[in-house]
Amino acid sequence: MGDTQLSIEDIEYVADMLRAIAWVKSDLGPVSEQTLSELEVSLGAAESALRRVAAEMAMDEKTGSQSN
């Protein structure tokens, strides 16, 4: 893989898409309630983690530091 870096906007976009999927989860077809519930929890956790990453990246950008 190349030296591609995701921007804050890229990460926020993915988080937005995860939220959108969670909102329309009932439109996904014949899926059990348990699976839909697990999907909602997983998407929520992933969205939250991505938003934390974006926030930390924004803080690093403001302070000029780089964390890894």
Tell me: the pLDDT tens digits for 27-36?
888 989 999 9
**Is position 50 within any domain?**
yes
**Is position 3 within any domain?**
no
**Is position 8 within any domain?**
no
Neighbours of 47 (CB within 10 A): 20
**Is position 36 within any domain?**
yes
**Is position 26 within any domain?**
no
**Structural domain of 57:** 31-61
**Is position 44 within any domain?**
yes
**Is position 17 within any domain?**
no
Domain count, the chain: 1
Which is higher by pLDDT, 24 or 66?
A: 24
Q: Which amino acid is at 34?
A: Q
Q: Residue 20: is its pLDDT beyond 90? A: yes
Q: Residue 2: is its pLDDT beyond 80? A: no
Q: Is 29 left (phi over 0), alpha (psi -120 to 50) or beta?
A: left
